[in-house]
Structure 1
Amino acid sequence: MRAVTQNTVGGPDVLVIADRPDPAPKAGEVLVRVSAAGINPVDGAVRGGNYPLLGEPPFILGWDISGTIEALGPDVTGLKVGDQVFGMPHFPKQAAAYAELA
């Protein structure tokens, strides 16, 4: 999949499009094909190194996500492949919404 990632902290110029392995949903998780990802102040603060929520780069930013469920991990109930979803999965942990799949 393609993702917007960064290898160092800094301004918007540190963001690059890169190929990354497709993530796989773990127990209680779903895999989402991202339709839209929100950009919030926390994204800029983490990108710039002012709020080291994700540790040191490289990482994929993005917590706000909207999209379609592609796959279900074990123990997922109440959702199915094809459902439209949105939210802030795992916040404040990494959701990696700046990608084709999250």
Structure 2
Amino acid sequence: MSSKVVIQVRLPAKLVRELDKLTEEGYYSNRTEAIADAIRHLLERYGRGGKTARVVRMYLLGRRPSSPGKLEVDVESARQYLIEQFGTDELDVIVARMRRRLP
């Protein structure tokens, strides 16, 4: 069971309105989920994770590795990474979520 920590963040009203729009449109179920997702993306952007994380990021960004050897990944590690990042390992669900977030 994972523990959760409560943090308090002050945001500009305009940013909160934008968060609320995302929840109203169904991208997120609440503000907490949206903020947690933004933090996950920030951590991912700045290099959190190892080889599996890099391969998943390349896949999500539509990039192909330069050689087949770079695609070798432990399947269970990749599955756990997807669950950590998206809350599921079902690719159809993940792809649908990502498509909704595209501008």
| TM-score using structure 1 length | 0.24
Structure with bigger gyration radius: 2
Report the structure, 1 or 2, having the larger helix content. 2
Report the structure, 1 or 2, having the larger strand content. 1
Higher-RCO chain (CA-CA 8 Å, sequence separation at least 6): 1
| TM-score using structure 2 length | 0.24
